[in-house]
Structure 1
Amino acid sequence: MNNILIIGAGRSATALINYTLNKAKENNWFVTVADADPALAERKVNNHPNGRATWLDALKDNDRRELIGRADVVVSLLPAHLHFEVAQDCVKLKKHLITASYVSQEMQKLGDKVRNHELIFMGELGLDPGIDHMSAMQRIEAIKAKGGKITAFRSYAGGVVAPESDDNPWHYKFTWNPRNVVRAGTGTAQFFENGKFKYVPYHRLFREHWMVNIQDMGEWEAYANRDSMLYREVYGLNGIPNIVRGTLRHKGFCDAWAALIKIGLTDSSFPIFDSAKLSYHEL
């Protein structure tokens, strides 16, 4: 039996936990879900015969390594800054690793050790990044197979609310760590447009959005998503004059978020003391 360890049982983990448990019997898997909130992990496992929930403080090295040591495959759905600790353990204990987060420079530096141990480390396997990469390569390879030439690459993704659940003025709901949504207001973006390098600082990111028409879904706002330049080589599109990866949101989202950035609500570099006593206007 193959043992799968999923570290983290938060919002982003629900679909994966359900999938692995549903497929566990036919694939001879046993799934362990570890989280700092054991009650949350237990609810996600839901007494499945091929699964168990357990407590884990990912910052406690010995506890983390003990769990990883029992696994064949580790899936880290921890906050991105904690992946490296898990990755180092997986290299040392010779365990395969999967994450949904962007591959950091720290993680890239482990590449030689991973290959030397004949391990599989796979990152960027979520929605964005993840499914967008797979659909992109599917299209790119299909076009090249027909002898086509690609002069522009534009990819859009977004965790949008289903129409039947769209019941708030923001037209948005948190399906992942809310802190990461806020931190998106502190990031920059860069891409190529008509052969020119474009850099967007964080305070302009949501102001410089544009409209995209999606078949059968109408118009959506889009804003540039991080560093599109990295993927020219990855996608085999070196020299292409237009490449941008974008995030989709409902109309009005970007202007509202730009206002939050302008008044400093996405800046976590300083604390606001006694904020509970202040009105929204005073904040």
Structure 2
Amino acid sequence: MSNLTLRLEKEDWDRVRALLEELGFKGLPRDCVVWYLTDGSNHATLYSSGTLLIQGKRAKEVKDLILSSLGTPEEVLIGCDESGKGDVFGPLVLCCAVIKPEYYRRVLSLNMKDCKRLSDEAVLKKASDFRSFGEYKCRLVEPKELNELYERKKNLNRILDELYVGLLEEFLKRYPEGRFSVDAYSSKSPFDGRVSFIHKGEEDLAVATASVLARAGFLRWLENRGLPKGSSKEAMALARRIYREDKERAKESLKLFFL
């Protein structure tokens, strides 16, 4: 039995349910899901995250039919998010993902969502899949550069303001009619009215895609250097030891303003 997933935007939930019911699927009660439908041998379960799980021998056929029924946005979607902000080791990685109408359904098929809901392996796989066809741009700020920026600005959110404005400049010129969204990281937006600064931004498909791309870049950086994620007691203890023993290495591998 195949197990396939795709992402459904909220405006499509009822329409997809109606489509499945036309195909002979019937709804049955199931806890902790938006809806569950089955035709006896194939099953479709929609979760509140927007993930639709399709199971059964005809799972691929059902998935392809659903995707073909979905509309596509008329405008280009551009979403941005960052990773590494809360980790003592590693860079700050900002990414903007571009979702064009011609590959919108393909991104839905990847079931992009907030990277915090995914395993590291899934993050790396989804990022690789998107990079094979999608447009994007990332800015990886090495710890040394980030530490120097922090010495001058003393505020990580103001650093993000500057970096995002620079990262989006090219896309704002290239896609003047695009829909721009950035996951809100502070209470005040640094952007003009062309860019939406949204809380819980990963609910937006383009922002979720950017989240995955940024996290993948961050994870690869740590893996290449054998350094831990997060800011646990163990990670902080290692960071302090490196700082005591080799301050130059510390500048190049960790965020000194965490210490």
TM-score, scaled to structure 1: 0.25
Bigger fraction of residues in helix: 2
TM-score, scaled to structure 2: 0.26
Relative contact order, CA 8 A, sep 6+: which one is greater? 2
